[in-house]
Amino acid sequence: MQTTDRPRRTPQRRDAHSNHRRILATARQQLRDDPDTSLGSIAKAAGVTRRTVYGHFPSREALVADLTQEAGQALQQAFAAVRIPDADPVEAMARMVLAAWAVGDQYRMLISLGRRHRGEAAIRATLAPAREEAIAHIRRGQHQGVFAGHVPAPVLAQALEALMLALAEENAASTWADPTGEAAATAFLVAAGVAPQAAALQVQDVVRRDRAAGAG
């Protein structure tokens, strides 16, 4: 019986795949730090020519779209993995913050681009499900009296998002270390109106239960 070997990836294809990944990884970092960075700057940082970058991405918009899709998928998967039906709003928000922190680079890049380029429809669409989910939890928490009700839920959600971005940027700059996101989640809940001790206990409880479930 005649067998056929599976086609092997040629060196050129391997190089192209490697360059593609390197460009994306570099662009993620560059755009996170400077949402206005150019393709030329990304090419230089990645150690490739501009022609190579344009060979993979015909425009800056195409590169941002690819990164947006990648980051959006990472966020959605992270949120889906920690979502618990019928969780109370404080626990639900703690879980969302911890999940976002776990995919920090993608989260910070999306938020940074979304704030600097409000015309980027793809970025707004990618963030919309997470924002709507957060607003729903905040609105439910306000109704139950566990979150501050002095401003509408969408406004409070936007303010809390800004807090998260600031904390994530400080963590990345190594001026303040929070590897697990527990401090960020606690700060988020406190800013939402939860008493500091109750916020810390809620975050610790979520982390403890998730670790126990993972070990089991």
DSSP state of 54: H
Please state, in angstroms and rounded to a whole number, the distance separating the CA atoms of residues 134 and 20. 34
In whole angstroms, how large is the CA radius of gyration of the chain?
20
Rounded to 5 degrees, what are φ and ψ at 13?
-70, -40
End-to-end CA separation in angstroms for the chain: 47
Greatest extent of the chain over all pairs of C-alpha atoms, in Å: 77
Please state, in angstroms and rounded to a whole number, the distance separating the CA atoms of residues 205 and 91. 9
Q: What is the pLDDT along the chain (216 residues), one digit of tens a residue?
A: 455 555 555 555 666 778 888 998 898 888 877 878 889 999 999 999 999 999 999 988 888 888 888 888 888 888 899 999 889 999 999 999 999 898 876 777 777 776 665 446 777 777 788 889 999 999 999 999 999 999 999 999 999 988 988 888 888 777 788 989 999 999 999 999 999 999 999 999 999 998 888 776
Please state, in angstroms and rounded to a whole number, the distance separating the CA atoms of residues 178 and 186. 11
CB burial of residue 66 (10 Å; 0-12, 13-18, 19+): middle
Residue 94 pLDDT = 96
Q: Which residues contact 85 (CB under 8 A, 6 or more apart)?
A: none
Closest by CA to 47, choosing from 22, 78, 10, 81, is 22
In this structure, the number of other CB atoms found within 10 A of the CB of residue 99 comes to 23
Identify the residue whose tokens are 């190089």: 15
> What would the two tokens of residue 193 be?
């109106």
Q: Which residues contact 37 (CB under 8 A, 6 or more apart)?
A: 30, 31
Q: How open is the CA angle 127-91-108, to the nearest 5 degrees?
A: 30
